[in-house]
Amino acid sequence: MMRQQLLELLENDAKRPIAELAVMLGKSQQEVADQIKALEEEKIIIKYHTIINWEKTGVDTVTAMIEVKITPQREVGFDALAERIYRFPEVRSVYLMSGAYDLLVMLEGPSLKEIAEFVSTKLATIEGVISTTTHFMLKTYKEAGVIIEDHEEDRRLVVTP
């Protein structure tokens, strides 16, 4: 059980100190450190991730979500084409989906033109890709459970004695 609780705590805040984690879990710092190391070695913890509000940095990037319909290949299904797609450095994520399309590909690039060129020259030309539909992300409100800019005001009435 400690393992799941530890993973949940780290997922929520990967920078939380081991001493704090140990107190929260009722374990020694060494036990927690050993468990984290084991989770990393087992590839359960794959990477620590930082969420950045890129709009505030002045760095312009474009993010697109691309629906891809593909023909599954004999004996490997969707995996071989998914691997071919996720090997491109522009590709941030690839998901196998149920429903109207097979793969959801998330892509980042410096401009709409660059993403359109990637889709038309690299992605759509892969043998087995039937069609693509590209959606451009216009604004991020919440990512990985984190509200990017919270403008909600405290609407409680002020009570004074």
pLDDT digits 0-9 by tens, 47-60: 888 887 777 888 88
Is a pLDDT exceeding 80 seen at residue 79? yes
Of 47, 61, 1, nearest to 26 (Cα)? 1
Q: In 11-160, where do the E strands start and end?
A: 62-70, 91-96, 103-109, 129-136, 142-143, 146-147
* 39: three-class secondary structure by DSSP: helix
How many other CB atoms are there within 10 angstroms of residue 68's CB atom?
26
Domains annotated for the chain, with CATH where assigned, are 2-41 (1.10.10), 54-140 (3.30.70.920)
User: Mean pLDDT, to the nearest integer, of 24-44?
Assistant: 93
User: Mean pLDDT, to the nearest integer, of 79-87?
Assistant: 95
Per-residue confidence band for 147, with pLDDT thresholds at 50, 70 and 90: confident
- At which residue do the structure tokens 């539909």 appear? 133
Is a pLDDT exceeding 90 seen at residue 61? no
| Residue 43 identity | K
